[in-house]
Amino acid sequence: MERKNAWKKYSEEKRKAVFAFGEDYKKFISDCKTERECVTELIAQAQAAGFEDLKEVIAQGRKIQPGDKLYADNMGKMLAVFVIGRQPLEEGMNILGAHIDSPRLDLKQVPLYEDTELALFDTHYYGGVKKYQWVALPLALHGVVVKKDGTKVVINIGEQENDPVFGISDLLVHLASEQLEKKASKVIEGENLDLLVGSIPFEDKEQKEKAKETVKTNVLRILKDQYDIEEEDFLSAEVEVVPAGRARDYGLDRSMIMGYGHDDRVCAFPSFAAILEAGVCEKTSVCLLVDKEEIGSVGATGMQSKFFSYAVAEIMEAMGGFCQVAFNRAMTNSKVLSSDVSAAYDPLYASVMEKRNCAYFGNGLVFNKYTGSRGKSGSNDANPEYMAELRRIMEDNDVSFQTSELGKVDQGGGGTIAYILANYNMSVIDSGVAVLNMHAPWEIISKADLYEAKLGYTAFLKEA
């Protein structure tokens, strides 16, 4: 079948819209490099657009009606946004589900140590990473430190022009003959992904003879003076190590964006934009943004938690009374785009791709009928009836789209949150944006694909 590049259909006015949306997205992923930062920013945008906190609506005993705009926040790391539709909730919802966590490094609970008058932070990598990609890069610290009295200290160091940055050292090539013989998975060991954070010793003339680990002491002094953090406070901290720097235009034609965390914020951002743009639809619209996808969707803020179903139950109760049968119908009748990225075809690594069934930059929104690995293991496999409906919606709304698999059959694979939502008996398919360098510190996407994702998600909310 002929593939059509979306850039070819754009008028000059439409091209300006594509680039303008790309600018909005670049700001978002530059400012929001953690789940908490994403949720905080999107709640602010939701409130500005007239959305109300579901908890407050329930506390006030108000009845929820068609047209109401609501959001539910789960522990600051998971967000559900609802626009109540004109049809009864038991007729189903149209759901855009994406994840807002990305591969990274996390500080351990006892992270700070000194070795040969160098102070370092010990880390534990999060999600599927090629460990060798994280060395010799400028890195930043983002997160929160919660003190025993409940005080929360927000950490964001390495993003401003005058901020210091951090890094993980690599072995100089002159001494790397043995290292270069290792498998890529062993070139850098996980326990060696430690962050260099200081080298000046602290000198107290009165205690000079007794002083030990003086560089570590100096780092602790800086943390105390600038952030009021004690070493023990790291026991109740959540600090993430991410690439330092802002998203940038990529390519001489500025058609692409290089940034950290495209997987999966490149789907989360247009999903949220779509629910704002679609307005009140026949069915209730939902934008569901979740944590922990990169490690199996586990935990209280992952898709396997009960948060979303509890939120739907609360809405049903506030609309006139919860009924288990009506709840079951609402979930069963719902349709979902599990909005997650797909691998873009890379001519430098053509051997792992099957050209007829892979995603290409500029060809628009990607639908993956199934994901999984080696025999579709761990996959949600969408029904052809649902795929046919989506084809109609996309074509009727002039949305550029393509279908894809994640590489050759025996090459590998991956999963998304799709199978979890499918457990409710919903119609679910994976859809998203093609990405180069997936799971690397700096990933690449096409501005055209980002824009077509927003158009496709908006059309889905209105017409599915």
Do both 96 and 119 map to the same domain? Answer: no
Q: Using the 3D structure, point to which of 243, 276, 293 is the last residue of a domain.
A: 243
- Please state the separation of Cα 451 from the chain's center in Å: 17
Do both 114 and 188 map to the same domain? Answer: yes
Per-residue pLDDT for 298 more than 90?
A: yes
Q: Using the 3D structure, point to which of 243, 270, 285 is the last residue of a domain.
A: 243
The pLDDT > 90 percentage for the chain reads 87
Distance CA 95, CA 460 (A): 9
In a domain, 12, yes or no: yes
Answer yes or no: are the C-beta atoms of 340 and 430 closer than 8 Å.
yes
Do both 36 and 117 map to the same domain? Answer: no
Residues 6 or more apart whose Cβ sits within 8 Å of residue 205? none
**CATH number assigned to the domain comprising residue 151:** 2.30.250.10
Model pLDDT, residue 207: 62
Number of domains making up the chain: 2
137-161: average pLDDT: 96
Model pLDDT, residue 370: 81
In a domain, 150, yes or no: yes
Do both 24 and 165 map to the same domain? Answer: no
**CATH number assigned to the domain comprising residue 458:** 3.40.630.10
Do both 155 and 274 map to the same domain? Answer: no
Do both 403 and 342 map to the same domain? Answer: yes
24-49: average pLDDT: 98
In a domain, 354, yes or no: yes
Do both 288 and 434 map to the same domain? Answer: yes
Q: Which of 71-80, 350-359, 432-441 has the lowest mean pLDDT?
A: 350-359
In a domain, 394, yes or no: yes
Q: Using the 3D structure, point to which of 243, 278, 296 is the last residue of a domain.
A: 243
Residue with tokens 């060809």: 363
Distance, first Cα to last Cα, the chain:
25
Do both 360 and 277 map to the same domain? Answer: yes
Answer yes or no: are the C-beta atoms of 239 and 155 closer than 8 Å.
yes
In a domain, 36, yes or no: yes
Per-residue pLDDT for 197 more than 60?
A: yes
- Stated pTM of the model: 0.94
Do both 49 and 138 map to the same domain? Answer: no
Phi, psi of 39 (to 5 degrees): -65, -45
Model pLDDT, residue 188: 95
pLDDT digit string, tens, across residues 410-458: 565 666 888 899 999 999 999 999 999 999 999 999 999 999 999 999 9
In a domain, 72, yes or no: yes
pLDDT digit string, tens, across residues 56-68: 999 999 999 999 9
Model pLDDT, residue 440: 97
Residue with tokens 């290792």: 182
Q: Using alpha carbons, select from 3, 6, 2, 4 the residue that is nearest to residue 448.
A: 6
Domain region containing 195: 104-243
In a domain, 251, yes or no: no
Do both 334 and 416 map to the same domain? Answer: yes
Amino acid identity, residue 422?
A
Do both 348 and 457 map to the same domain? Answer: yes
162-176: average pLDDT: 95
Length of the chain: 464
Model pLDDT, residue 111: 97
pLDDT digit string, tens, across residues 373-421: 667 777 788 889 999 999 999 999 999 999 988 766 656 566 688 889 9
Distance CA 328, CA 332 (A): 6
The DSSP code for 340 is -
In a domain, 217, yes or no: yes
The DSSP code for 299 is S
235-260: average pLDDT: 98
Distance CA 312, CA 255 (A): 40
Do both 389 and 287 map to the same domain? Answer: yes
